[in-house]
Chains A and B, each alone.
Chain A
């Protein structure tokens, strides 16, 4: 047993299996975590495998010892059974892999959806052209901000709450019916990463206004410009940031200072 533990080949195998167990079972079991998608598991395991191969082969002595069991299995007469089993298993595995790859499945194929697609530089809002680049929330500079937030609060609870939820976390009553799920504003990857004008654009144009990389046919978000006025959308934007505590991304001051 000890000999096995010290042998680089079995150490490598053990490391690999341990890494797999961590990615597949330990990470999902951590608090607040979830299952790791297959594509990511594959990527992690490939990286780990490369790392292990580097470790066993960067030293001449270790590399030679590492190859011993492989070499033995391939040529030693006493290991004939192992060799046969191994050949059968490898062949079977390749077969199963091929089968699972070509097998028709009911699940929709995973697709790439860009969460933050490139916004246009300007949009037409009810016939009025709005330039998004460099645009700040106009309500931050006019009137009483608390009143605007209260207004946004009211509008959010009238329109947005069924999908985006009471906690603004994308867990509204209807949320489970959608794929993609409604945006979770509490997440540091959504509005926390975006300028207010981007959020405005997404609310105003909704799913139908998404560019191709955002796969518009998936998003159930309505184009709110049909139902809300410009100021109403801006006040909702204010409310979202106020309620979640995120700060909107600000525009970089350009070198010419003219943006």
Chain B
């Protein structure tokens, strides 16, 4: 980006380059100072003392974290599956030719998109799934994310150029066939980044399970922090510094996986149809 012209600025000349370099040095110094300040504050308050980090040396604690990761992924897998299936169904409903079906699907989508997940999960736990917090979590996540996925799929279908469906109808295909063979495949390909983005949200939101006694990763972190007492107090900061990277790694892994699938899909698409000019 530096050497190229972009929307915002032209190819820099010698003076601009010097200016950028000055900003770069200033920025780097500022960020380094900030990081140093954070580090110094943490160190000064004993957050790097051996006792604060001691719990992570025990196999039982490592096992606790691994079990948390496993339970997080279990909830995510089930919720992702449910949200994609539900999303497809609701999108079909919203694109239906029958007005009542369209209205019903719209009502469901709008309702679950507006409801806080936390409240939904809590209500599901209290009212229906008291003995199985996992299902309260999965259903809550599935309903909310399914509604969002439905919107993504629908806007993807609407974004396919009209000529595509017109040509398909002209060939004598029925609506279901047009949808299934022409519109949806193109829509999914175009919308894959957005759908993956929503899956990342689903993965992160599994952490809400801690309010309903589901033993996911954040719950494990909370337990580790609350049950280790040191002279400097409970090790909340070390726990956050351990748990957050795991979540970030999981999300980035999911994004990378999605990008890989996407690149494969694009190659396949290019083989079948020549790229538009």
Question: Are A and B part of the same complex?
Answer: no
Give A residues with C-beta under 8 Å from B.
none
